[in-house]
Amino acid sequence: MKYNGKKLDAVIERVMKMKPGPAGLAVAVSKDGETVYTRYEGYADEAAGRKMDPDTIFDLWSLTKVFVCTAAMTLYEQGAFLLTDPLDYYFPEYREMSVYERDNWTLLRERPAKTRITVKDCFTMATGFPYATNFGSTEEIHPTIARMLEVKKDLREKLGRPYTLLEEIPEMAKVPLAFDPGTQWMYGYSHELVAGLIELCSGMRLSEYLKKTFFEPMEMTSTGYHYEAGWPERLAQFYRINEAGEREPFRMSVSGHAPDEVYEAGGGGLLSTAEDTLKFFTMLANGGVYKGEQYVGRKTIDLMRRNHITEIQRNDFMTGAHNAVYMPGYGYGLGVRTMIDPAAGGSSSSFGEFGWTGGSGTWAAADPEEHFAVAYMHQLWPNQEEIIHQRIRAAAYGGMI
């Protein structure tokens, strides 16, 4: 397969001249199941003089969600659950939920939820659970967030040790939701519930199920939740842009990676290389098939990449934690953003192109119509995705012959 990488080269060179911008980056592209482009530019660790290369490992942050939701859908294919099932079929604590009613940010009262959380709500971020953090904001936090933080603190104190995801999930049922399930969209804890469903239905830890289902058979030897031998030395240095507008080293992660870490999140925490990530998205772009083996059904992937949210929910999606600056044209499927209007998005990608980003600067997408996939990596906070990712997308598609 011929591919013109000169356009990607040009965009990468522009990105590397950004001030401030990433210290280094990695890009990998596949077409029709074959890798057609890779490039590693700049430094994995600037101070140490360590260059970006195929062995560089990145903290994926929220790009983890695509791996987790795809893994859950393999259990859906096995009849372990239905998307229409109430979540309380699996976690009975969620049978009687309450909701915070509020006016702007002023708490009015707590009342019973009008609807039950469904499994689909967990995939589509429609549960009413945000993330239990405000990322250091000085603004008053949502009362649901405040209560989630209290539950986490109480659980740590009660157990006197680090807790697992399956220990946390029942406790979170004590938290009043931000809205009636299924009525709005809110980025947050929903995919932790998807991960819990994987563990409950498979009888395996999340990391074990992902390893058995995808990572080992697909030879994704540098992907996982926990450090393996030599991984810390291969990890890209994380940077942040400080108040002076300069890039500086910073250690920031959404999850611990030590081998004895017991909490494995559905929304973040995976480590991977650009080429390992490309293998996974190549599989998604080619009907669930990678190197002749089928890992997930083609029609299951089609179901994942359909838009599953209402116009009211899409308004939340466009204006909330992920804003309209770089979401035009996208809807939201089963754990992925999905292109539903390329013209509105100013995108040369196909209808149904899908993927997600990570707050650390990672992004990957699969396009089943073109059997095309892209994986992009850097490590920077703020991640500059609204500036960089769409340009990489345009150049990647521009290289098709």
What integer pLDDT is reported at residue 269 of this predicted model?
96
Q: Which domains does the chain have, with CATH numbers?
A: 6-63+205-398 (3.40.710.10), 77-202 (no CATH)
What distances in angstroms separate CA 344 from CA 207, 309, 329, 349, one per listed residue? 38, 17, 5, 12
Inter-CA distances, 331 with 10, 59, 308, 324, 340, Å: 30, 25, 8, 11, 6
Strand partners, 98: 112
Whole-number Cα distances in Å, 187 to 125, 129, 131, 331, 390: 6, 8, 7, 14, 21
What is the pLDDT at residue 133? 77
Determine the pLDDT at residue 139: 57
Token duo for residue 279: 């293998």
DSSP 3: B
Going residue by residue through the chain, which has 401 residues, state the pLDDT in tens, using 9 for 90 and above.
689 999 999 999 999 999 989 999 999 999 999 999 999 999 999 999 999 999 999 999 999 999 999 999 999 999 999 999 999 999 999 999 999 987 666 657 899 999 999 999 999 999 999 998 755 554 577 889 999 999 999 999 999 999 999 999 999 999 999 999 999 999 999 999 999 999 999 999 999 999 999 999 999 999 999 999 999 999 999 999 999 999 999 986 667 899 999 999 999 999 999 999 999 999 999 999 999 999 999 999 999 999 999 999 999 998 865 555 667 899 999 999 999 999 999 999 999 999 999 999 999 999 999 999 999 999 999 999 889 999 999 999 999 99
Phi, psi at 272, each rounded to 5° = -165, 165
Q: Report pTM.
A: 0.96
Instruction: Report the C-alpha dihedral over residues 121, 124, 130, 132, rounded to 10 degrees.
Output: 100
Please give the pLDDT value at position 325.
60
In the prediction, which pLDDT does 138 show?
47
Question: Are the CB atoms for 175 and 110 separated by under 8 Å?
Answer: no
Looking at residue 69, its pLDDT comes to 99
Cβ neighbors of 256 (< 8 A, separation 6 or more) are 263
Tokens standing for residue 400 = 């098709």
